[in-house]
Structure 1
Amino acid sequence: MLKGQTVEVKKYMLDQWLKDYHWMIEQIRVGKMQDEVVKTIEYEGAKVANYGIEATLPKASGGTSDPVSYEASRRTQFYVKRVLRYVWKVKEIQERASNVIGEREIFVLHHLFDGYSMRKIAEKMNVSEATVRRIRERILDDMLGKLL
């Protein structure tokens, strides 16, 4: 998942990732936009004078004591880790998606990627929700079986 870690992907994990795929993609997109904003702002704390009378004054030692900047830094670090987990999960799903070969399975998979519910997919295919659930089970089996 993260550097140096290996995770054995289980069927229930893939199922949850498929349900969350559309949402994770949106979070990654928003995260990349926020990352660009953070890079342009880059709060570095107080500037230190190099010349003039201000250069002779005592300087702060250690890190910043500003609680607002500390909280912003903490939240940014947490957010970056979360987005990296989403990126890893999305890549796993995308790599395994090429193992799905049936026409109906591909149709269902793409609609799951788009965030459609089982009911909406069943309406589009003109089949029952139980049929869509069986197709989803075959998708999960294909994604697990052929890559491992």
Structure 2
Amino acid sequence: MQTTINPNHKYIESVCSKCPGTHWGKSAKCRIHDMHIGKISSCQQWDDKEAEQWIDDDGQLALTNLEPVLELLHVAQDQLDGYYWMTQQIEKLRSKIQSGLGSNDDVAAGTAQYGIEATLPKARGRNSDPVFREARNNLQAWERLNRRVKRFEDKVKRVDAFAEKNNLSEKEQIVLEGIMDGQKMKDIAKEIGVSRTRAQELKNKVVNDLAWAIYDEEKKKEKALS
């Protein structure tokens, strides 16, 4: 009788033996799948190849350490994918701010008259002034738009800094710059002469490196505050 080797035996040895599902290797039955580990044909941990990213902590997989790593990857992905859109939004918001939010002359005059005081509590009766109320609303809207611009600018500057200084290959750099320019992945793949699948793999590498850059940036901020 021919013996069949489970193709996932490498994961059984490296992952299951350190997983709480088998009580860290003390049981041959996985509590998560409710079956013998030798009969398990697929596992989310294997499919995602998370075993390669887990951190060994005293012989046990420190699962909680994955959370900040995955969060950074999501942040990097969102900021890279949203880069082109954010640059467009910054220009639109700046134009809106400079145009005075489309306010009329009376509202603009009211803003100039009341200034920052428009956001402070007033004596009874004064808030009935329609010009004052409009000026206050106008100022609050102006402040909201400025905060939004600042958030977008911080994210854009982060990606810009990464694009200027990184360890990417030439093709990875082209993928990065193409995404920043708003190109579609199929067009980027065609430009560098690879399949869309390969282009996506290159993008994943870019995202991973950007995540590390964000991690280093956050650590520097923490160190500066300590």
TM-score (norm 2): 0.49
What percentage of aligned pairs have identical amino acids? 21
Q: RMSD value over aligned CA atoms? A: 3.0
Q: 1:34 aligns with which of 96, 107, 114?
A: 96
Residue pair 2:111, 2:138 contacting (<8 A) in 1 also: no
Report the CA distance shift for 1:64/1:26 in structure 2 as closer, same or farther (over 3 A).
farther
Report the CA distance shift for 1:46/1:31 in structure 2 as closer, same or farther (over 3 A).
closer
Structure 2 unaligned blocks of 5 or more: 1-68, 114-124, 217-226
Q: Confirm whether residue 104 of structure 1 aligns to residue 171 of structure 2.
A: yes
Q: 1:128 aligns with which of 195, 210, 218?
A: 195
Q: Confirm whether residue 140 of structure 1 aligns to residue 202 of structure 2.
A: no
Q: Distance in 1 between matches of 2:176 and 2:128?
A: 49
Q: Confirm whether residue 114 of structure 1 aligns to residue 176 of structure 2.
A: no
Moved runs in structure 1, 4+ residues, more than 4 A?
A: 66-71
Q: Confirm whether residue 61 of structure 1 aligns to residue 126 of structure 2.
A: yes
Deviations 1:48-79 (A, max 9, x none): 9xxxxxxxxxxx62585456545433432322
The equivalent residue for 1:10 is: 72
Q: 1:45 aligns with which of 98, 107, 110?
A: 110
The equivalent residue for 1:56 is: none
CA-CA distance at 1:10 after TM superposition: 0.8
Structure 1 unaligned blocks of 5 or more: 1-7, 49-59
Q: How many residues align?
A: 129
Q: Secondary structure at the match of 1:86?
A: helix
Q: Distance in 2 between matches of 1:94 and 1:47?
A: 36
Q: Secondary structure at the match of 1:101?
A: coil
TM-score (norm 1): 0.71
Q: Distance in 2 between matches of 1:10 and 1:47?
A: 43
Deviations 1:24-58 (A, max 9, x none): 1111122222232229x67242999xxxxxxxxxx
Residue pair 2:110, 2:134 contacting (<8 A) in 1 also: no
Residue pair 1:45, 1:64 contacting (<8 A) in 2 also: no
Q: Confirm whether residue 89 of structure 1 aligns to residue 89 of structure 2.
A: no
Report the CA distance shift for 1:114/1:105 in structure 2 as closer, same or farther (over 3 A).
same
CA-CA distance at 1:100 after TM superposition: 4.0
CA-CA distance at 1:19 after TM superposition: 0.9
**Which is greater in Rg?**
2
Q: Secondary structure at the match of 2:91?
A: helix
Counterpart mapping for 1:70-85 below 5 A: 70-85=136-151
